[in-house]
Protein backbone atom coordinates (compact mmCIF):
# COMPACT_ATOMS: atom_id res chain seq x y z
CA UNK A 1 0.00 0.00 0.00
CA UNK A 2 1.69 3.20 -1.12
CA UNK A 3 1.99 6.32 0.95
CA UNK A 4 -0.16 9.37 0.67
CA UNK A 5 1.76 12.56 0.80
CA UNK A 6 0.18 15.75 2.00
CA UNK A 7 1.07 18.90 0.07
CA UNK A 8 3.24 20.86 2.45
CA UNK A 9 1.95 24.20 1.24
CA UNK A 10 -1.68 23.32 1.74
CA UNK A 11 -2.66 23.71 5.35
CA UNK A 12 -3.97 27.19 6.07
CA UNK A 13 -7.54 26.61 5.08
CA UNK A 14 -9.39 24.32 7.46
CA UNK A 15 -11.97 23.64 4.77
CA UNK A 16 -9.65 22.05 2.23
CA UNK A 17 -6.24 20.47 1.68
CA UNK A 18 -4.29 18.81 -1.12
CA UNK A 19 -2.55 15.45 -1.07
CA UNK A 20 -0.75 13.18 -3.51
CA UNK A 21 -1.13 9.47 -4.04
CA UNK A 22 0.70 7.47 -6.68
CA UNK A 23 1.47 10.55 -8.70
CA UNK A 24 -2.10 11.82 -8.68
CA UNK A 25 -3.34 15.01 -7.08
CA UNK A 26 -6.38 15.00 -4.80
CA UNK A 27 -8.08 17.78 -2.89
CA UNK A 28 -10.27 17.22 0.14
CA UNK A 29 -13.05 19.68 0.76
CA UNK A 30 -15.61 20.02 3.49
CA UNK A 31 -19.34 19.68 3.02
CA UNK A 32 -20.01 23.39 2.46
CA UNK A 33 -17.36 23.76 -0.21
CA UNK A 34 -18.55 20.55 -1.85
CA UNK A 35 -22.05 21.95 -2.07
CA UNK A 36 -20.73 25.17 -3.67
CA UNK A 37 -18.78 23.17 -6.23
CA UNK A 38 -21.82 21.00 -6.88
CA UNK A 39 -23.92 24.06 -7.59
CA UNK A 40 -21.23 25.30 -9.95
CA UNK A 41 -21.17 21.97 -11.74
CA UNK A 42 -24.95 21.89 -12.11
CA UNK A 43 -24.93 25.40 -13.54
CA UNK A 44 -22.24 24.36 -16.01
CA UNK A 45 -19.98 27.03 -14.56
CA UNK A 46 -17.19 24.71 -13.48
CA UNK A 47 -16.90 23.07 -16.88
CA UNK A 48 -16.94 26.46 -18.57
CA UNK A 49 -14.04 27.57 -16.38
CA UNK A 50 -12.10 24.37 -17.02
CA UNK A 51 -12.64 24.44 -20.76
CA UNK A 52 -11.68 28.11 -20.85
CA UNK A 53 -8.39 27.19 -19.26
CA UNK A 54 -9.07 29.36 -16.20
CA UNK A 55 -9.25 26.55 -13.70
CA UNK A 56 -7.30 23.30 -13.51
CA UNK A 57 -9.17 20.25 -14.80
CA UNK A 58 -11.00 18.63 -11.92
CA UNK A 59 -13.25 15.67 -11.33
CA UNK A 60 -15.35 15.00 -8.30
CA UNK A 61 -14.02 11.74 -6.97
CA UNK A 62 -17.04 10.77 -4.99
CA UNK A 63 -16.09 7.28 -3.90
CA UNK A 64 -14.45 5.65 -6.92
CA UNK A 65 -10.84 6.72 -7.09
CA UNK A 66 -9.92 7.33 -3.51
CA UNK A 67 -7.84 4.68 -1.75
CA UNK A 68 -9.59 3.10 1.19
CA UNK A 69 -6.87 3.90 3.69
CA UNK A 70 -7.31 7.60 2.93
CA UNK A 71 -11.07 7.42 3.27
CA UNK A 72 -10.61 5.97 6.71
CA UNK A 73 -8.38 8.73 8.03
CA UNK A 74 -10.44 11.59 6.68
CA UNK A 75 -13.12 13.09 8.89
CA UNK A 76 -16.64 11.92 8.04
CA UNK A 77 -18.37 14.02 5.42
CA UNK A 78 -15.13 14.94 3.65
CA UNK A 79 -15.32 14.89 -0.10
CA UNK A 80 -12.48 14.50 -2.55
CA UNK A 81 -11.73 15.98 -5.92
CA UNK A 82 -9.08 14.88 -8.33
CA UNK A 83 -7.01 17.53 -10.13
CA UNK A 84 -4.96 17.14 -13.25
CA UNK A 85 -1.33 17.39 -12.21
CA UNK A 86 0.46 20.48 -13.40
CA UNK A 87 4.14 19.75 -13.96
CA UNK A 88 5.58 23.25 -13.86
CA UNK A 89 5.56 24.77 -10.39
CA UNK A 90 6.51 28.42 -10.19
CA UNK A 91 5.94 31.10 -7.59
CA UNK A 92 5.13 34.83 -7.77
CA UNK A 93 8.70 35.76 -6.89
CA UNK A 94 9.82 34.16 -10.14
CA UNK A 95 7.28 35.86 -12.36
CA UNK A 96 7.70 38.94 -14.48
CA UNK A 97 5.44 41.98 -14.43
CA UNK A 98 2.85 40.84 -16.97
CA UNK A 99 2.75 37.36 -15.47
CA UNK A 100 1.70 38.70 -12.07
CA UNK A 101 -0.74 41.04 -13.79
CA UNK A 102 -2.26 38.15 -15.77
CA UNK A 103 -2.59 36.09 -12.60
CA UNK A 104 -4.43 39.07 -11.06
CA UNK A 105 -6.76 39.38 -14.05
CA UNK A 106 -7.47 35.66 -13.81
CA UNK A 107 -8.62 36.13 -10.20
CA UNK A 108 -10.92 38.96 -11.24
CA UNK A 109 -12.39 36.92 -14.10
CA UNK A 110 -13.11 34.02 -11.79
CA UNK A 111 -14.58 36.21 -9.07
CA UNK A 112 -16.86 37.90 -11.60
CA UNK A 113 -18.13 34.56 -12.83
CA UNK A 114 -18.67 33.38 -9.26
CA UNK A 115 -20.65 36.31 -7.91
CA UNK A 116 -23.33 35.79 -10.54
CA UNK A 117 -24.08 32.52 -8.77
CA UNK A 118 -23.86 33.93 -5.27
CA UNK A 119 -20.40 32.47 -4.69
CA UNK A 120 -16.98 34.06 -4.11
CA UNK A 121 -13.30 33.39 -3.67
CA UNK A 122 -12.42 33.47 -0.01
CA UNK A 123 -8.84 34.40 -0.65
CA UNK A 124 -6.78 36.02 -3.38
CA UNK A 125 -3.33 34.55 -2.94
CA UNK A 126 -0.94 34.72 -5.87
CA UNK A 127 0.20 31.24 -4.83
CA UNK A 128 -3.16 29.89 -5.98
CA UNK A 129 -2.09 30.34 -9.58
CA UNK A 130 0.32 28.15 -11.53
CA UNK A 131 1.61 28.88 -15.00
CA UNK A 132 1.54 26.26 -17.71
CA UNK A 133 3.73 27.73 -20.38
CA UNK A 134 2.33 31.25 -20.66
CA UNK A 135 -1.12 30.38 -19.41
CA UNK A 136 -2.05 31.16 -15.79
CA UNK A 137 -4.27 28.50 -14.22
CA UNK A 138 -6.20 28.74 -10.96
CA UNK A 139 -5.77 25.72 -8.73
CA UNK A 140 -7.38 26.41 -5.36
CA UNK A 141 -10.93 25.22 -5.72
CA UNK A 142 -11.13 25.00 -1.96
CA UNK A 143 -11.20 28.77 -1.99
CA UNK A 144 -14.77 28.90 -3.27
CA UNK A 145 -17.48 29.69 -0.73
CA UNK A 146 -20.89 31.23 -0.29
CA UNK A 147 -20.02 34.62 1.23
CA UNK A 148 -21.90 36.34 4.04
CA UNK A 149 -22.38 39.38 1.80
CA UNK A 150 -22.00 39.83 -1.93
CA UNK A 151 -21.64 43.59 -2.13
CA UNK A 152 -18.09 43.45 -0.81
CA UNK A 153 -15.24 41.07 -1.53
CA UNK A 154 -13.55 39.86 1.66
CA UNK A 155 -10.41 38.91 -0.25
CA UNK A 156 -10.01 42.36 -1.80
CA UNK A 157 -7.48 43.38 0.82
CA UNK A 158 -5.36 40.33 0.07
CA UNK A 159 -5.80 40.93 -3.65
CA UNK A 160 -4.22 44.35 -3.18
CA UNK A 161 -1.36 42.94 -1.07
CA UNK A 162 -0.59 40.10 -3.45
CA UNK A 163 -1.15 41.75 -6.80
CA UNK A 164 -1.85 45.45 -6.93
CA UNK A 165 0.75 46.81 -4.51
CA UNK A 166 3.64 44.69 -5.84
CA UNK A 167 2.74 45.76 -9.39
CA UNK A 168 2.69 49.41 -8.36
CA UNK A 169 5.94 49.04 -6.43
CA UNK A 170 7.64 47.43 -9.41
CA UNK A 171 6.32 49.97 -11.89
CA UNK A 172 7.00 53.10 -9.86
CA UNK A 173 9.87 52.12 -7.58
CA UNK A 174 11.51 49.23 -9.44
CA UNK A 175 11.05 46.85 -6.53
CA UNK A 176 11.37 43.26 -7.74
CA UNK A 177 8.72 40.70 -6.86
CA UNK A 178 11.43 38.55 -5.42
CA UNK A 179 12.07 41.12 -2.74
CA UNK A 180 8.37 41.40 -1.96
CA UNK A 181 7.28 37.77 -1.92
CA UNK A 182 10.34 36.17 -0.45
CA UNK A 183 10.14 38.61 2.41
CA UNK A 184 6.45 38.03 3.02
CA UNK A 185 4.32 35.25 1.59
CA UNK A 186 1.31 37.51 2.05
CA UNK A 187 2.65 40.18 -0.28
CA UNK A 188 3.15 43.88 0.34
CA UNK A 189 1.26 45.43 3.26
CA UNK A 190 -0.80 48.56 2.69
CA UNK A 191 1.35 50.78 4.89
CA UNK A 192 4.51 49.56 3.15
CA UNK A 193 2.91 50.27 -0.21
CA UNK A 194 1.96 53.75 0.91
CA UNK A 195 5.43 54.55 2.21
CA UNK A 196 7.08 53.16 -0.87
CA UNK A 197 4.95 55.14 -3.28
CA UNK A 198 4.98 58.26 -1.19
CA UNK A 199 2.22 60.80 -0.72
CA UNK A 200 2.02 62.17 -4.26
CA UNK A 201 1.88 58.86 -6.09
CA UNK A 202 -0.59 57.45 -3.57
CA UNK A 203 -2.80 60.49 -3.95
CA UNK A 204 -2.75 60.23 -7.76
CA UNK A 205 -6.06 59.07 -9.27
CA UNK A 206 -4.65 55.63 -10.11
CA UNK A 207 -3.76 54.80 -6.53
CA UNK A 208 -6.09 57.01 -4.55
CA UNK A 209 -8.67 54.42 -3.62
CA UNK A 210 -6.51 51.38 -3.26
CA UNK A 211 -3.45 52.84 -1.59
CA UNK A 212 -4.22 56.19 0.00
CA UNK A 213 -7.76 55.49 1.20
CA UNK A 214 -7.04 51.97 2.35
CA UNK A 215 -4.03 53.13 4.27
CA UNK A 216 -6.13 55.87 5.84
CA UNK A 217 -8.64 53.36 7.15
CA UNK A 218 -6.15 50.64 8.00
CA UNK A 219 -6.98 49.59 11.50
CA UNK A 220 -4.44 50.92 13.88
CA UNK A 221 -6.68 51.50 16.86
CA UNK A 222 -7.42 48.64 19.21
CA UNK A 223 -11.04 47.62 19.01
CA UNK A 224 -11.51 49.07 15.56
CA UNK A 225 -11.44 45.62 14.02
CA UNK A 226 -14.23 44.49 16.31
CA UNK A 227 -16.35 47.48 15.37
CA UNK A 228 -15.83 46.85 11.68
CA UNK A 229 -16.58 43.17 12.19
CA UNK A 230 -19.88 43.99 13.85
CA UNK A 231 -20.93 46.42 11.16
CA UNK A 232 -20.37 43.71 8.56
CA UNK A 233 -23.22 41.57 9.75
CA UNK A 234 -26.17 42.49 7.63
CA UNK A 235 -29.78 41.48 7.31
CA UNK A 236 -31.24 40.44 4.01
CA UNK A 237 -29.67 40.25 0.57
CA UNK A 238 -26.85 42.46 -0.62
CA UNK A 239 -26.36 43.62 -4.18
CA UNK A 240 -23.44 42.12 -6.13
CA UNK A 241 -23.67 44.95 -8.65
CA UNK A 242 -21.68 47.05 -6.21
CA UNK A 243 -18.88 44.53 -6.08
CA UNK A 244 -18.94 44.25 -9.85
CA UNK A 245 -18.20 47.97 -10.14
CA UNK A 246 -15.12 47.47 -7.98
CA UNK A 247 -13.95 44.38 -9.88
CA UNK A 248 -14.30 46.11 -13.24
CA UNK A 249 -12.43 49.10 -11.90
CA UNK A 250 -9.60 46.84 -10.72
CA UNK A 251 -9.47 45.11 -14.07
CA UNK A 252 -9.13 48.37 -15.94
CA UNK A 253 -6.43 49.47 -13.54
CA UNK A 254 -4.36 46.32 -13.93
CA UNK A 255 -4.67 46.35 -17.69
CA UNK A 256 -3.47 49.92 -17.56
CA UNK A 257 -0.47 48.95 -15.45
CA UNK A 258 0.44 46.26 -17.98
CA UNK A 259 0.45 48.83 -20.74
CA UNK A 260 2.49 51.27 -18.69
CA UNK A 261 5.31 48.88 -17.95
CA UNK A 262 8.06 49.28 -20.49
CA UNK A 263 10.93 46.85 -20.86
CA UNK A 264 14.24 48.62 -20.87
CA UNK A 265 17.46 47.04 -19.75
CA UNK A 266 17.18 43.94 -21.92
CA UNK A 267 18.68 45.77 -24.84
CA UNK A 268 21.95 46.11 -23.02
CA UNK A 269 22.29 42.34 -23.15
CA UNK A 270 22.53 42.67 -26.90
CA UNK A 271 26.12 43.57 -26.20
CA UNK A 272 26.74 39.84 -26.45
CA UNK A 273 25.33 39.77 -29.97
CA UNK A 274 27.79 42.42 -31.11
CA UNK A 275 30.55 39.89 -30.68
CA UNK A 276 29.06 37.40 -33.11
CA UNK A 277 29.53 37.66 -36.84
CA UNK A 278 26.44 36.88 -38.88
CA UNK A 279 28.16 33.69 -39.95
CA UNK A 280 28.66 32.61 -36.35
CA UNK A 281 25.05 33.33 -35.39
CA UNK A 282 23.71 31.33 -38.31
CA UNK A 283 26.03 28.45 -37.57
CA UNK A 284 25.09 28.44 -33.89
CA UNK A 285 21.40 28.35 -34.76
CA UNK A 286 21.98 25.59 -37.27
CA UNK A 287 23.85 23.47 -34.76
CA UNK A 288 21.22 23.91 -32.04
CA UNK A 289 18.48 23.00 -34.48
CA UNK A 290 20.42 19.90 -35.48
CA UNK A 291 20.86 18.91 -31.82
CA UNK A 292 17.15 19.35 -31.12
CA UNK A 293 16.29 17.21 -34.14
CA UNK A 294 18.71 14.53 -33.16
CA UNK A 295 17.78 14.19 -29.49
CA UNK A 296 14.15 15.36 -29.56
CA UNK A 297 14.04 16.21 -25.84
CA UNK A 298 10.64 16.20 -24.13
CA UNK A 299 11.63 19.13 -21.99
CA UNK A 300 14.29 21.79 -22.20
CA UNK A 301 15.60 24.23 -19.60
CA UNK A 302 17.19 27.27 -21.20
CA UNK A 303 19.49 28.86 -18.64
CA UNK A 304 20.34 32.49 -19.31
CA UNK A 305 17.68 32.57 -22.02
CA UNK A 306 17.97 36.33 -22.59
CA UNK A 307 15.94 37.12 -25.74
CA UNK A 308 14.68 33.54 -25.80
CA UNK A 309 15.84 32.78 -29.31
CA UNK A 310 16.87 29.24 -28.47
CA UNK A 311 13.87 28.69 -26.21
CA UNK A 312 11.68 29.35 -29.25
CA UNK A 313 13.66 26.82 -31.22
CA UNK A 314 13.22 24.20 -28.53
CA UNK A 315 9.49 24.90 -28.28
CA UNK A 316 9.13 24.65 -32.06
CA UNK A 317 10.88 21.29 -31.89
CA UNK A 318 8.08 20.12 -29.62
CA UNK A 319 9.72 20.39 -26.21
CA UNK A 320 8.08 21.82 -23.12
CA UNK A 321 10.40 24.68 -22.24
CA UNK A 322 11.35 26.51 -19.07
CA UNK A 323 13.43 29.60 -19.71
CA UNK A 324 15.30 31.20 -16.85
CA UNK A 325 17.14 34.51 -16.77
CA UNK A 326 18.46 36.81 -14.10
CA UNK A 327 17.22 39.90 -15.95
CA UNK A 328 13.56 40.74 -15.27
CA UNK A 329 12.98 42.71 -18.46
CA UNK A 330 14.39 39.93 -20.66
CA UNK A 331 11.91 37.51 -19.08
CA UNK A 332 9.09 40.03 -19.45
CA UNK A 333 9.83 40.53 -23.16
CA UNK A 334 10.06 36.76 -23.67
CA UNK A 335 6.74 36.23 -21.87
CA UNK A 336 4.95 38.78 -24.00
CA UNK A 337 6.24 37.28 -27.24
CA UNK A 338 5.73 33.66 -26.23
CA UNK A 339 2.22 34.43 -25.01
CA UNK A 340 1.30 36.18 -28.22
CA UNK A 341 2.59 33.27 -30.28
CA UNK A 342 1.04 30.74 -27.87
CA UNK A 343 4.31 28.88 -27.34
CA UNK A 344 4.90 26.24 -24.71
CA UNK A 345 7.51 28.25 -22.80
CA UNK A 346 7.45 29.16 -19.12
CA UNK A 347 9.79 32.11 -18.59
CA UNK A 348 11.07 32.74 -15.06
CA UNK A 349 13.18 35.36 -13.34
CA UNK A 350 15.79 33.63 -11.23
CA UNK A 351 19.44 33.73 -10.26
CA UNK A 352 20.66 30.16 -10.37
CA UNK A 353 23.67 31.06 -8.27
CA UNK A 354 21.26 32.30 -5.58
CA UNK A 355 18.10 30.27 -6.12
CA UNK A 356 15.06 30.64 -3.90
CA UNK A 357 15.22 28.28 -0.93
CA UNK A 358 12.40 26.47 0.83
CA UNK A 359 10.14 29.06 2.45
CA UNK A 360 7.19 29.33 4.76
CA UNK A 361 6.30 26.91 7.49
CA UNK A 362 9.28 24.66 8.35
CA UNK A 363 10.77 25.94 5.07
CA UNK A 364 8.63 23.35 3.35
CA UNK A 365 5.61 25.35 2.38
CA UNK A 366 7.28 26.62 -0.77
CA UNK A 367 9.75 24.32 -2.48
CA UNK A 368 13.30 25.38 -3.38
CA UNK A 369 13.80 26.50 -6.97
CA UNK A 370 16.32 23.77 -7.78
CA UNK A 371 13.66 21.13 -7.04
CA UNK A 372 11.25 22.69 -9.50
CA UNK A 373 13.24 23.67 -12.58
CA UNK A 374 14.99 21.29 -14.89
CA UNK A 375 14.61 19.38 -18.11
CA UNK A 376 15.69 16.42 -20.11
CA UNK A 377 18.08 18.82 -21.84
CA UNK A 378 19.64 22.01 -20.50
CA UNK A 379 20.90 24.86 -22.68
CA UNK A 380 23.83 26.87 -21.30
CA UNK A 381 24.48 29.15 -24.26
CA UNK A 382 26.45 32.40 -23.99
CA UNK A 383 26.46 31.74 -20.27
CA UNK A 384 29.69 30.17 -19.05
CA UNK A 385 31.56 33.45 -18.81
CA UNK A 386 28.80 34.94 -16.63
CA UNK A 387 28.93 31.97 -14.29
CA UNK A 388 32.69 32.04 -14.00
CA UNK A 389 33.31 35.77 -13.84
CA UNK A 390 30.14 37.49 -12.63
CA UNK A 391 29.01 34.76 -10.26
CA UNK A 392 32.56 33.61 -9.48
CA UNK A 393 31.53 29.97 -9.60
CA UNK A 394 34.31 27.38 -9.69
CA UNK A 395 34.04 24.65 -12.34
CA UNK A 396 33.12 21.98 -9.79
CA UNK A 397 30.15 24.06 -8.71
CA UNK A 398 29.08 24.68 -12.31
CA UNK A 399 29.31 20.97 -13.00
CA UNK A 400 27.28 20.10 -9.92
CA UNK A 401 24.62 22.70 -10.69
CA UNK A 402 24.05 21.48 -14.22
CA UNK A 403 24.03 17.87 -13.03
CA UNK A 404 21.20 18.78 -10.71
CA UNK A 405 19.26 20.66 -13.38
CA UNK A 406 19.41 18.20 -16.23
CA UNK A 407 18.02 14.70 -16.57
CA UNK A 408 20.39 13.74 -19.37
CA UNK A 409 21.75 16.28 -21.83
CA UNK A 410 23.69 19.50 -21.51
CA UNK A 411 24.35 21.81 -24.45
CA UNK A 412 27.04 24.18 -23.30
CA UNK A 413 28.79 26.90 -25.24
CA UNK A 414 32.49 27.09 -24.49
CA UNK A 415 33.79 30.66 -24.72
CA UNK A 416 37.51 31.29 -24.92
CA UNK A 417 38.97 33.95 -22.60
CA UNK A 418 40.24 35.75 -25.72
CA UNK A 419 36.69 36.18 -26.95
CA UNK A 420 35.20 39.67 -26.83
CA UNK A 421 32.35 38.66 -24.51
CA UNK A 422 34.73 37.22 -21.97
CA UNK A 423 37.14 40.14 -22.17
CA UNK A 424 34.34 42.62 -21.65
CA UNK A 425 33.51 41.04 -18.32
CA UNK A 426 37.15 41.02 -17.33
CA UNK A 427 37.67 44.67 -18.22
CA UNK A 428 38.06 45.82 -14.64
CA UNK A 429 38.61 42.49 -12.92
CA UNK A 430 41.75 40.64 -12.02
CA UNK A 431 42.34 38.05 -14.69
CA UNK A 432 42.33 34.53 -13.27
CA UNK A 433 41.13 33.05 -16.52
CA UNK A 434 43.99 33.33 -18.99
CA UNK A 435 44.70 29.63 -18.49
CA UNK A 436 41.11 28.61 -19.15
CA UNK A 437 40.64 26.32 -22.15
CA UNK A 438 38.15 23.92 -23.58
CA UNK A 439 40.22 21.06 -22.17
CA UNK A 440 40.05 22.57 -18.70
CA UNK A 441 36.29 22.98 -19.09
CA UNK A 442 35.76 19.38 -20.13
CA UNK A 443 37.99 18.22 -17.29
CA UNK A 444 36.08 20.36 -14.81
CA UNK A 445 32.77 18.85 -15.94
CA UNK A 446 34.07 15.29 -16.11
CA UNK A 447 32.92 14.26 -12.64
CA UNK A 448 29.31 14.58 -13.80
CA UNK A 449 29.43 14.77 -17.59
CA UNK A 450 31.00 13.08 -20.59
CA UNK A 451 31.42 14.90 -23.92
CA UNK A 452 29.35 13.47 -26.75
CA UNK A 453 30.15 15.93 -29.53
CA UNK A 454 31.91 19.23 -30.24
CA UNK A 455 30.77 21.87 -32.75
CA UNK A 456 33.27 24.71 -33.23
CA UNK A 457 31.78 28.02 -34.37
CA UNK A 458 33.37 30.31 -36.97
CA UNK A 459 35.94 32.60 -35.37
CA UNK A 460 37.72 29.83 -33.52
CA UNK A 461 36.88 31.11 -30.05
CA UNK A 462 33.57 29.43 -29.33
CA UNK A 463 32.47 25.81 -29.43
CA UNK A 464 29.16 24.15 -28.70
CA UNK A 465 29.56 21.04 -26.57
CA UNK A 466 26.96 18.35 -26.20
CA UNK A 467 27.45 16.50 -22.91
CA UNK A 468 25.68 13.59 -21.31
CA UNK A 469 25.19 13.14 -17.59
CA UNK A 470 27.00 10.11 -16.21
Query: Which phi-psi region, left, alpha or beta, contains residue 454 (left: φ > 0; alpha: ψ -120 to 50)?
Result: beta
> 194 vs 312, which CB is nearer to another protein?
194
Nearest to 325 by CA among 343, 345, 295: 345
Cα separation, 417 vs 422, in Å, equals 5
Beta carbon of residue 124, minimum distance to another protein (angstroms, whole number): 8
Residue 406: strand pairing partners: 375
Query: Least distance in Å: CB of 93 to another protein?
Result: 19
Half-sphere exposure of 104 (CA within 13 A, CB side): 33
Residue 317 Cβ vs another protein, minimum distance, rounded to whole Å = 43
3, 10, 28, 31, 225 from 76: Cα distances, Å: 21, 20, 11, 10, 35
Q: What angle do CA 436, 441, 445 make, to 5 degrees?
A: 150
Nearer to another protein, 227 or 260 (CB): 227
Residue closer to another protein (CB basis): 113 or 155:
155
Q: How far is the CB of 372 from another protein (least distance, A)?
A: 25
Give least dist CB 157 to another protein, A: 3
- The backbone region for 340, taken as left when phi is positive above 0, alpha when psi lies in -120 to 50, beta otherwise, is alpha
Of 144 and 381, nearer to another protein (C-beta) is: 144
CB of 206: closest distance to another protein in angstroms? 15
CB-based contacts of 309: which residues, under 8 Å, 6+ apart?
Answer: 285
Number of neighbours of residue 413 by Cβ within 10 angstroms = 22
HSE, side-chain direction, 13 A CA sphere, residue 94: 29
Give the residue with the Cβ less far from another protein, 229 or 435: 229
Count of CB atoms within 10 A of residue 215's CB?
Answer: 18
CB of 381 closer than 8 Å to CB of 304: yes
Q: Cβ closer to another protein: 206 or 368? A: 206
- Paired sense of beta strands 58-60 and 4-6, if any: unpaired
**Whole-angstrom distance between the N-terminal and C-terminal Cα of the chain?**
33
Residue whose CB is less far from another protein, 241 or 361? 241
Min dist CB 148 to another protein, Å, is 6
Instruction: From 338, 301, 307, select the one nearest 319 (Cα to Cα).
Output: 301
Nearest-approach distance from CB 304 to another protein, in angstroms:
37
- Give residues with Cβ within 8 angstroms of 459, minimum separation 6: 277, 280, 419
The site for another protein (CB under 8 A) is made up of 12-15, 122-123, 125, 148, 151-158, 160-161, 186, 190, 209, 213-219, 224-225, 228-229, 231-233, 238-239, 241-243, 245-246
Nearer to another protein, 72 or 230 (CB): 230
Task: Tell me how far, at minimum, the Cβ of 240 lies from another protein, in Å.
Answer: 11
Q: Are 187 and 159 in contact (CB under 8 A)?
A: no
Nearer to another protein, 1 or 222 (CB): 222
Amino acid sequence: MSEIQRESGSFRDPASFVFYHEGRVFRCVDEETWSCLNDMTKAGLLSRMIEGGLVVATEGSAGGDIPADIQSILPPGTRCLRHRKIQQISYPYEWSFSMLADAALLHLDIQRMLIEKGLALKDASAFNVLFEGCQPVFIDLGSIERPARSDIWFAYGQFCRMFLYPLLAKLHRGMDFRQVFMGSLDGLQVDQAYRMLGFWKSFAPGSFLDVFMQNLFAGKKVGQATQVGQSLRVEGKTDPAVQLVNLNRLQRKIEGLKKSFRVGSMWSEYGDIRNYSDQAIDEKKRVVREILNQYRPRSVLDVGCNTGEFSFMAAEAGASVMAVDYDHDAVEALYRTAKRKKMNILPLVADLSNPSPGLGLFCEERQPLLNRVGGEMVFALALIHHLMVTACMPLEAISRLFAQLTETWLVLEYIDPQDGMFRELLAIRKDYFSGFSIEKLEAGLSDHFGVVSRHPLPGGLRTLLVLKKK
